[in-house]
Amino acid sequence: MKVPSWKTITALAAAASLALAIGAAPSQAATPVQSTKVSAGLSASDLSKLPLTNRHLTEREKANLAVVLQAYHDGEGDSLDPQGFRDLFAVDGVLNGIGGVDGQDSLRGTQLSGLIVFLSQFLPDIHRELKQITVNGDVVSIELTIQGTFLGPFQTPAGVVQPTGAKIDFPTADFWYLRNGKVEKFDCHIAFTTLYAQLGVLPDYASAVGN
């Protein structure tokens, strides 16, 4: 199956924009990029451009998918919108960044946009290539790769790793759980080991063995 380009994904997100799910609550606040956009949702033509495992989606599933596509659009380097991303979540929504040094970092409230901001700081041209999308009711599961160029400083507990211009491309698995048109939980499983290797930040095995 041909993977759609990011331009196609962002075009779909702009077309679908925050399509209202059944009983969806209004966006919490307007942003400079206007996160309170509304449209009729994803058309059959829109869906045909996506790497879906099942194209027979209910209207609710289409609306949920539109919300998720908008979230990816808000995390894109060319259209980064931290507040718009945050507004897609329910009041009690949580983002779990899984796979890092701490194992899991859970973000809530004003922290919700922290992951996309963190990634964009050292990958300012960041984009996500969606490989496979499965929609099952209020759950959207996506296999993707996160791509970009190491052009910004990478913050670590030991100090700052300076950019090298390296091309970055690492696998990720995202699981979105929605409720009434809002994201209730987002589990983002990032292959940080692959990312660190591409950044040139390799584990210090000698120090670990010496302890």
Q: What is the pLDDT of residues 125-162, one digit of tens each?
A: 999 999 999 999 999 999 999 999 999 999 887 889 99
Residue 206 lies in a domain: no
Residue 46 lies in a domain: yes
**Cβ contacts of 56 within 8 Å, gap of 6 or more:** none
Averaged pLDDT, 38-63: 86
Residue 49 lies in a domain: yes
Q: What is the residue range of 134's domain?
A: 6-201
Residue 56 lies in a domain: yes
Residue 209 lies in a domain: no
Q: Phi first, then psi: what are they for 35, rounded to 5°?
A: -80, 0
Residue 128 lies in a domain: yes
Crossing angle (nearest 10°) for helices 59-74 and 6-16: 120
Q: How many domains in the chain?
A: 1
Residue 211 lies in a domain: no
CATH of the domain at 90: 3.10.450.50
Report angle CA 63, 67, 69 to the nearest 5 degrees.
Answer: 110
Helix count (H) and strand count (E) of the chain? Answer: 7, 8
Beta bridge partners of 187: 96, 175
Q: Is 114 helix (H, G, I), strand (E, B) or coil?
A: helix
Q: What is the model's pTM?
A: 0.80
Which band of pLDDT confidence, cut at 50, 70 and 90, is reported for residue 189? very high
